[in-house]
Each structure stands twice: as structure tokens, then as C-alpha cells.
Amino acid sequence: MQASKITAVPRTKQPAPMIDKDLDAEIIEPTEKGENLFKLAEKQLQRAFDVIAIDASLQTILKQPKNEIIIHFPVKLSTGKVQLFKGYRVQHNNILGPFKGGIRFHQNVYLDECKALATWMTWKCALQNLPFGGGKGGVKFDPSLHTKEDLEHITRRFTHALGNNIGPEWDVPAPDMGTNAQIMDWMMDTYSNIVSMSDKQSVKRVVTGKSTVCGGSPGREEATGRGIVHCITQWADEARFNLAGATLAVQGFGNVGSNTAKILSRMGASLIAVGDHTGYWRHPEGFNPYKLAEYVRQKGTLQGYPGGESMTRDEFFATKCDIFIPAALELQICEHEAKLMNCKVVVEGANGPTNVEGETILANRGIHIIPDILANSGGVVVSYFEWLQNKRSETWDIEDVRTRLETRMNNTYQMASEKARHLQIDMRTACYVIALERLQEVYARRGIWP
């Protein structure tokens, strides 16, 4: 009789299935705007190929990543449930050095997004003349729905599953959307526990963006924002524009958006509009970016911030301001938004925030764009400094890091600006040209084996 009772248990009371339906989702997903991010990366690359003569076989090589790794790994969550997670690591190119680029934790991570982001890292590192190639990865889940303990387990299990697919001279992850220094500390610790005892100390540089006590570089956290500000300063010098009294709109108030707004406010700029996925707010006299950042640190989002007046997404994009900084998700400035925008310069803190149609409209309307691979490259530049410090067992002081970052950002900006003037092309294509010429030179000398 008991046996028949067991078989009579309704299906809904069975343990949850191991594989979430999300994991089976089509891996080549378009975004909510219906555009696939890798297609955008391809179109941008093609524009550069149209401007300079790049060998046909090199074009073929650079159009696709070298390796695309997809991993399913189980984690026992604090609820007691075992959940299977989907993780990615795409390694685009390593002719200049180890693959380099962030790991993102986000519910919409998909393969073609990682492919695009890894490709952009190759151009970003080559543009900045760093001895790194391009990589990017992520885990498809919403970190805000998990406890700290779960985040640690997910991070450690993912790192373990990646195994030798990462390494200090092979592929060096860093923070990206949804990850931070704590996640990097766990990744480093896990990796150092899967190598031999005698290698434990020498593999610290397997990830960058760690906390300073665990070997991170001073100034790494603020580096992307600082790099953006150096670009804006260079642009302002060229445009004979005074940053004191400038108005600013920032989309996304995480690490990049908040640090940029804080530094610009110290230079006299005023943050008059701000927003994230929870909504948009305006404040004609200017928000206090320090208070906003503290609010986001405590609450996780801008939702409910007591100050400013709420507005629609369209109103946010239509804000009359001098500097507009997309520092949230990709594909935010498309045809619709570009027509609304009313600013002098768009500075791409996010990766891939503008699609080709949006970019054309902005250009026709005389709005300048400082492209992502230049604007937000301060992060990976200081990641390189961290990697170097770890390799040499050194700790640089913050002023040293800041000076080196400023020099590199300013020099690269000038080089890109000169290239754009010389070839009569936009800044993005100019940055691509510099990166591609560097890569082409190395491929030409090394050849293709065998």
C-alpha cells in the first residue's frame, strides 16, 4: 500500500528539475531591441576594413574568436536546491599577449554578446598598446537575487570549471557588469588552490581588479571613470570647451557612471540627469554624485532616490546637456534615442552602447562620439598595471598609477584624434585603424604557422 502512495505523489511535489529552462535558451540571442551584439561588432570592423588595406586572410582570422567556451556547472544554493548555471568564456585573439577581459554576471548574458565583447577587448588592448589580447565571459544569472554565500559558491564553481582555460599568461579575467573586487578575490583564491603549492604565489595575476589587500592595484576601481574623464578633458581642449559649469547626463550609476560623475563634479561639472534600469531622474541644479553613489551602494539601484524629479526614458535621452555618458548596458543609443539627443558629446562608458544607425544620426547632427574602446579603456590599462605589479611583486602608490594612466590615456586620445583628422574618419574608425595596424604588423612578421 505504501508503495502505491509514493507513486501517487503529484508531479508538482517532485524536486525541481536540475536544468532550468533558461539554460536551454537559444545561445545566439538578440537583445530586447532585436539586435545581435556580435553583428554590431562585425559592422564596426567592416567599416575599418573599408578604410585601410588589411590583408584578406587577416580579415578572416580577426572576424571570429579563437575559442568559445560554454560550461554548465552545478551549485548547491543556500536554499538547498542544486541549480545548474551556464557560463561562458570567449577568447578572441592572443597574438599580442594573454587574452584579457571581464567576467559579467547578468541574467541576459549570451554567447554572441561575449563574442562581441571579447572582440572589442582585442581592439581596446591593441589600441592602448598593451601586451594583451581580447577575451570576455560571464555567467547567465541575476546576482541581485542571490546571497553573498551563493555568489561565492557560484564564482568558485565557475572558476574551477574554467580550470586551465584561464591562467596568468594565458587568459586573465577582470570585473565587468555585476562583478567586483570580491568576486575577483574568490576567483584568484580558487585558481591558486587548483595549481601546485609552489605556484600559489605566482598565479595571483590570473585575475585583475582584486581588492588591494589581495594584490589589486591602487586606483583600479576608479580607473575606468578616470580614463573617461581624461578623454573628456582632451575633447574639451580640442573643442575649446570649458568643463567648469558643464552639464552632464549619466545612464547607469555603477562603478563607471558614479566614478566619472564624482571626478567631473570636482572639476565643476553638474550632473543634471541620471538613470538606470529602474527609472530616470532630473535635477536642474545638479545631483550630488557622492550621495547618489552611496544610495546605490546601499540599495543596489537608484530606485526611490529622494531628490530630483522622475522622468521618462525618452525625456532622459532628450535632456539638453553638454556631455552624455551611457554607462549601463549595450545598445542604448539606437535610431530612436539618437534623434532625441541634445548634447555636444557622447562618451561611451559602456561597451557597445551605440548601434550603427544611432551613430550615423549622431554624426549627421554634429554630436561627437568618444568610442568605447578608447573612452572606457582606463580599466584595462590599470588592470595591466596590476598584472605587472603582481608579476614583479611590487605595489605602486596611487599617484604613480594615476599619472601613468593619465599619460597613456592622453597619448592614445591624441593619436586617435590625429588619425581621424588625417584620414577624415570618425574617432571609432580611427581607433580601429590604430588597433588593426598594430595587429597586422605583428601577424606580418610572425606569419601563420605552419
* Cβ atoms of 135 and 162 closer than 8 Å: no
Q: Which of 86, 100, 124, 136 is catalytic?
A: 136
Packing angle of the helix pair 220-239, 398-423 (nearest 10 deg)? 40
Q: Which stretch binds ligand GLU (CB under 6 A): 43-51, 198-206, 352-360, 375-383?
A: 375-383
Q: Which stretch binds ligand GLU (CB under 6 A): 19-27, 184-192, 379-387, 422-430?
A: 379-387
136 flagged as catalytic: yes
Strands 82-93, 134-140: parallel, antiparallel or unpaired by DSSP?
antiparallel
DSSP assignment letter at 44: H
* Cβ atoms of 100 and 134 closer than 8 Å: yes
Ramachandran class of 323: left when φ > 0, alpha when ψ lies in -120 to 50, beta otherwise: beta
Q: Is 379 among the residues that bind ligand GLU (CB under 6 A)?
A: yes
Q: Which of 83, 260, 376, 417 binds ligand GLU (CB under 6 A)?
A: 376
Q: Which of 45, 111, 174, 203 binds ligand GLU (CB under 6 A)?
A: 174
Q: Please, which residues bridge with residue 163 across strands?
A: none
Point out the residue whose Cβ comes nearest to ligand GLU.
Answer: 102
Residues 387-426 that bind ligand GLU (CB under 6 A): none
CB-count exposure of residue 100 (10 Å: 0-12, 13-18, 19+)? buried
Q: Which three cell numbers stand for residue 377?
A: 579603456
Residues 204-223 that bind ligand GLU (CB under 6 A): 208-209
H or E stretch at 390: helix 378-392
Q: Which of 102, 225, 252, 358 binds ligand GLU (CB under 6 A)?
A: 102
Q: Which of 100, 140, 262, 438 binds ligand GLU (CB under 6 A)?
A: 100
Q: Please, which residues bridge with residue 138 across strands?
A: 88, 104
Q: Which three cell numbers stand for residue 131?
A: 601586451
Residue 401: CB minimum distance to ligand GLU, A: 14
Comparison of 243 and 373: residue with beta carbon closer to ligand GLU:
373
Q: State the maximum Cα–Cα separation within the chain, in Å, rounded to a whole number.
A: 88
Residues 141-170 that bind ligand GLU (CB under 6 A): none
Q: Which of 234, 260, 351, 429 binds ligand GLU (CB under 6 A)?
A: 351
Number of chain residues interacting with ligand GLU (CB under 6 A): 12
Residue whose C-alpha is closest to residue 427's, from 346, 361, 357: 346
Q: Which of 65, 87, 98, 101 binds ligand GLU (CB under 6 A)?
A: 101
Q: Is 113 among the residues that bind ligand GLU (CB under 6 A)?
A: no
Q: Which stretch binds ligand GLU (CB under 6 A): 25-33, 229-237, 262-270, 378-386?
A: 378-386
Comparison of 349 and 358: residue with beta carbon closer to ligand GLU:
349
126 to 96, 168, 245, 381, 436: CA distances (angstroms): 8, 19, 35, 11, 8
Q: Is 436 among the residues that bind ligand GLU (CB under 6 A)?
A: no
* Cβ atoms of 227 and 193 closer than 8 Å: no
- Catalytic positions, written as ranges: 136
Enumerate binding residues for ligand GLU (CB under 6 A).
100-102, 174, 176, 208-209, 351, 376, 379-380, 383
